[in-house]
Amino acid sequence: MPDLGQLCLLYDPAKGPFIGSRDDVQGDGWLWGQAYGCPWHNGEKWDEDVMQDDDYHVTHWLPLPSLPNAPHHAETADAKESK
């Protein structure tokens, strides 16, 4: 199983592939969730807003790859502003 909060490519036979994560539900266990919007890399890991639902029946998952030497989003924005 992927770590809680780790964005993955997930597969549900009824819904097909999607990006999401396995998330803690306020101390009541965990649920699969689907990411909405566009995932971003925060310099350490992939991040995204996720909507959890007990209707996902994930059978396969593949963690999103880490990025080599990925700059932090704020550093990238600062570099663009200084040009």
Q: Locate tokens 């549900």: which residue? A: 12
Q: How many domains does the chain have?
A: 1
User: pTM of this prediction?
Assistant: 0.73
Q: Is residue 76 part of a domain?
A: yes
The two structure tokens encoding residue 2? 């992927």
Question: Reduced to 3 states, what is the DSSP secondary structure of residue 73?
Answer: helix
What digits encode the pLDDT tens for the residues 19-78? 999 998 887 889 999 998 888 877 778 888 888 888 899 999 999 887 776 555 554 444
Q: Is residue 59 part of a domain?
A: yes
Residue 74: domain span: 8-81
The two structure tokens encoding residue 8? 């993955």
Q: Please state, in angstroms and rounded to a whole number, the distance separating the CA atoms of residues 25 and 3.
A: 14
Question: Reduced to 3 states, what is the DSSP secondary structure of residue 40?
Answer: strand
Q: Please state, in angstroms and rounded to a whole number, the distance separating the CA atoms of residues 4 and 67.
A: 19
Q: Is residue 35 part of a domain?
A: yes
